[in-house]
Structure 1
Amino acid sequence: MFFELYRQRQQIAAQRDELQLQAEALRDADRRKDEFLATLAHELRTPLAPLRNGLDILQRNPNSENAGDLRNMMDRQLVHLVRLIDDLLDVSRVSKGKIELRKEILRIDEIIRSAAESSRPLIDGGNHRLTIDMPADVLWVEGDQVRLSQALSNLLNNAAKYTPAGGQIGLFAKSDGHHVVIRVTDNGVGIPEGMQAEVFQLFSQIDDHKQRSQGGLGIGLALVRQLVEMHGGSVDAYSAGPGTGSRFTIRLPLAAAPPVSDTVAPQRLEVPNNRSLRVLVVDDNPIIADTLGMMLEDIGHEFEAVHDGRMALDAARHYHPDVILLDIGLPGMNGYEVCKAIRGEAEFQDTPIIAQTGWGQDRDKELATEAGFNFHLTKPVPLEQLQKVFATLSP
């Protein structure tokens, strides 16, 4: 009897301890959620504030001598805002296994070049000097060009954020046995010894986000690790301590060079661009449709806009567009249905149809291709990207 009571008390004590641990874990999760939401609000307002300020100044004095600098600043802040949202979505997709890699044999120097171009605005904004040291031999890996460039760009962005103005950032690549080694170094704030194993944890911060204007959400490095590991590689961080800078090292399996083969030039759609093109813009948001039309007019084309999927086919029949810019999330008929209906008309079987939509996951792009779209652009669509797509429409 005594031993039975003792055993029951031990079980109750163990259950009490387990409940206490669970309660503490819930309190910690709730605290981290509140901190994340507060940080998210701060990070979203950070680019929105100068955008608002710049717009107010240009509205009051559009011909200000600082107008060019203001527009460049607003462009950089918009790029930063889009990147922030993309990182948030990507880390969620990767965590849920919803990102599929489109692997091919890639040159490391091209991945590095793409990453450096993506990070150049943030590096230049901090007046940093970027030094790139590439091996003489061409190194190859098997992977997804976009995702590997994204991972490396995130490391460069991290270096730019945590390095005081006028800092030094280095990018170095070499082969090491069966691996490609890529290192990103900086002479920034460094990482405390106890944090070096934690910087790749989701929402991890090197220091209190309230003490740094460039601290970020703590998702960039977590996304780096996830993407690199999806490629069979690894990433680690090293710092001698606060104020001594940081070094991040990516290791990826080396791949054999692809066989040399004759490449066939991709077919281009036969649409003359030596004249003004007639573009049908289909978007249920009138502001988006009108501003997109203004962009088209600015590069020498004309447009007509409709805001309902069911109206798109009739508008195409009457307007006879050379190109159609079509949203996906439309009332009445969605963009996929509209595209299929337009393709069903003999007149439009070869008309370039471009998806411009907020739905930008890989599956969305696959559905667009299946529906008959020629291109898929994710909102917000920069004018430069729109020009590049239009440039491919002619031989």
Structure 2
Amino acid sequence: MESVSLSKLTEQVVDITRLRTGEHGRVVVASIPQQALMLFVDPEGMRDMLAELLQAIAASASENVPLSLSAHEDNGRLHILLQAGDADIHGKSMRLPLPPHVDESMLSRARSFIGLQGGTLEARAGSSGTPEFLLTLPCSASQTDVHGTHVTTADSSETSASGCNILIADDNVDAAESLGELLNAFGHQVHIVHDGQNALDEASRLRPDVVILDIGLPAMDGYEVARRLRADANLATALLLAVTGYAQERDRIDAQQAGFDHHLAKPIDIARLTSLLDRRH
């Protein structure tokens, strides 16, 4: 995943949709905030997914009805509405059942993809009966330097100071680094280790606000690490999050007994994780 501006992403989606919706292309109306906003996503995947959702709307709408993409930002969350007709993200939806030809497998893929980007996807029907899709994604304001390069404020000292100091312990290097990059983009300070003993050493040194522990760590598992962290008076108030591929009730009980505050099954629900972190600070 990487940082991409909302304006650039919107421009690409509009161009692709026009190319994919017939010989003359459908009119696509975009209405987005003037403020420069950055998303930390898979840019190509997000572009293609938005275009595919617009195509699903086009299949239900009359040819003379434009497609629209509208967006607004609210407290670090970006709301994107895809619909037929005039772009109006503040308009009311009838919330009718979706048309039967909307591809459920496409919708399932879209929800899974958006979830991996830390967001949610709501599918509904507008007043005309055509499908509407409301996406909610984390975003950050950006500023432009003298060379025109976008710099996210998530890298600024002001934003970092307001975020959490997070320690991630996971022996899956790629997974740990991907999660670390995502949380960094959200304004948090992230430190990564790959085994239990280093997790204990770094936690003692850093005194993090939040520790995200993979249960299946080598040599010393996450349960034992959590028990030792809870025994350290300096870390008694740290938020401990268990991450595991097992999500049975017994696993949740074991995590609770070891001292974890919350149990997160893999793949991590990023929306839930960011909600827990937001409440922490």
TM-score bracket, normalised by the shorter chain, equals 0.3 to 0.5
Larger % of helix: which?
1
For normalisation by structure 2, the TM-score amounts to: 0.47
Structure with more contact order per residue of length (Cα contacts < 8 Å, sep ≥ 6): 2
- Larger C-alpha radius of gyration, 1 or 2? 1
For normalisation by structure 1, the TM-score amounts to: 0.34
Larger % of strand: which?
2
